[in-house]
Amino acid sequence: MTGASPRTVGTRWFVLFTLAWLAIWTVQLTPVQLLLPTQLNTATSTTGTWVAGVVYSGVVLGVGGLAGVIAGPVSGMLSDRTRTRWGRRRPWAIGASVWTGLCLVVAGLVHGPWPIGLAWTGVSVGVAVASAAFTALIADQLPESQRGAASASASSSQAVGIVLGVGAVVLLGLSIFAGYLVLALFIAFVGTLAALLLPDPPVATGPTRDERRLPWVALGHRDFAWVVWGRFVTNVGNALPTTLFLFFLMYGLGEREAEAQDNLLLVIVVYTIFVVAASVLAGWWSDRTGRRRVLTMASAVVQAAAAVVIVVAPSLTTTMVAAAVLGAGYGAFSTVGLAFATDLLPFPDDHARDLGLVNVSAALGQLVGPLVGATLVALVGGFWLLLIVSAVLSVVGAGMSGVARERVRATP
């Protein structure tokens, strides 16, 4: 996409874009936080132990993450080359939304780690493809002065999506299958609707030379690569405590399953409030000043402090405090980090391909995190090592992001 700079978009664009991301995050994170741990909790069987359930969850989420890391950039590359009268992002977004819905239904019907893992891999692929298509719209259609706001919409939708999904399952008392079915209908309808209504003008020319390159070529560009890898490491640090949180409440704090589910929702609400507030403020500030690098680093360090709080004094009260700190740090990091990466895109005609790498770095971190976390929990039979590693990785991710150099913003 070359030529004149994109024009400023209005409220309608942001509403549709936010709805798309709300659907994506809801169907990805509700199973991660609640449905999958419940399905794979071996402590409910006569022969299983709770550690085995943590390991099963980690493996299932990790395999799904690996599938997503391939599907996101590859589908992004293909959408950059797509030339139809319906646009180049829209067909991929619609197809991915429907596919994700179908795989969610299958996940609710099957039993056992292997069938559940296969179904979840399908969900992860669909989410990665949809994410690549929708994220490309930021670079396709927005000027730099609005990219922070769009990134805030995507990031804050992550926390709201967790509350929406987990809240619906817990408060309505939905069964596992009913929960998956509601999620399937949500992504199929909202994802398709947003894709149809968001602008996606067709591109008449054929694929450029850059579009014919392999998906990973952008990682050869120093600044972009540092941001992508820093985003991955920081997301692993975030995922270590958050994606195994139900297990932490039950076996780290000794709560019964029903009590743990109720407290999980409460913690998520606190987390969400701070994620949304930090996302909006950080996006506004970074758009206003153009300084994304410093805030990206600082927010990752704040995230690290949350894990330290729980290690020092593990209790439900300190967990609530840590949720607030974690929400503030991660909300700001996700928003400004995405805008930072968008500013550093190395090629002008392959936004979906390269932003697919950015999306995958976050999604893979969120899905590989449980695999690493499960290993750490199994090693010590508890959660303290997991929390320490979470803090260390968050600080390392901050340093990696700080190596990247900001581009000077063009004068309007």
SS3 letters across 135-201: HHHHHHHCCHHHHHHHHHHHHHHHHHHHHHHHHHHHHCCCCHHHHHHHHHHHHHHHHHHHHHHCCCC
Closest by CA to 360, choosing from 31, 76, 58, is: 76
**CB 358, CB 135: distance < 8 Å:** yes
Q: Which two tokens stand for residue 194?
A: 């947003």
Note whether residue 343 is domain-resident: yes
Question: What does the pLDDT read at residue 98?
Answer: 96
Q: How far apart are CA 97 and CA 157, in angstroms?
A: 17
410: in domain: no
Give the span between the Cα atoms of 202 and 89, in whole angstroms: 9
CA distance 298 to 340: 14
Q: Please check the confidence at residue 238 and state whether its pLDDT lies above 60.
A: yes
Task: Confirm whether 189 is domain-assigned.
Answer: yes
Residue 391 lies in a domain: yes
3-class DSSP assignment, residue 360: helix
Total-model pTM? 0.68
What span, in angstroms and rounded, lies between the C-alpha atoms of 280 and 149? Answer: 7
Q: What is the pLDDT of residue 2?
A: 43
Q: Using N-to-C axis directions, what is the helix angle for 257-289 and 144-171, rounded to 10°? A: 170
Percentage of the chain lying above the pLDDT 70 cut? 85
pLDDT average, residue stretch 3-14? 72
Q: Which two tokens stand for residue 239?
A: 């995922």
Max mean pLDDT among 197-206, 242-251, 363-372 falls in: 242-251
Structure confidence at residue 400 (pLDDT): 86
**What does the pLDDT average to over 177-184?**
95
Asked, for residue 4, whether it belongs to a domain, the answer is no
Give mean pLDDT, residues 375-383.
Answer: 84
217 pLDDT tier (thresholds 50, 70, 90): low
Over residues 196-205, the mean pLDDT reads: 77
Separation CA 120–CA 30 (nearest Å): 12
- Is residue 170 domain-resident? yes
Q: Tell me the per-residue pLDDT of 33-67, one tens digit each, with 9 for 90 and over.
A: 788 888 887 655 555 566 676 677 777 877 777 78
From 117, 84, 124, select the one nearest 100 (Cα to Cα). 124
Give the CATH number for residue 313: 1.20.1250.20
Classify residue 248: in a domain, yes or no: yes
303 in a structural domain: yes
Cα dist from 300 to 296, 304, 305, 359, whole Å: 7, 6, 9, 17
Domain coverage including residue 266: 11-201+211-403
pLDDT recorded at residue 153: 74
Q: For the chain, how many structural domains are there in total? A: 1
Mean pLDDT (whole number) for 136-141: 77
**Could you tell me what percent of the chain has a pLDDT over 90?**
22
What is the tens place of the pLDDT at every residue in 322-370? 889 998 998 888 888 888 887 777 766 556 667 767 777 777 777 677 7
Q: Is the pLDDT of residue 126 over 90?
A: yes
Using CB atoms within 10 A of its CB, is residue 210 exposed (0-12), middle (13-18) or buried (19+)? middle
Residue 6 pLDDT greater than 70, yes or no: no
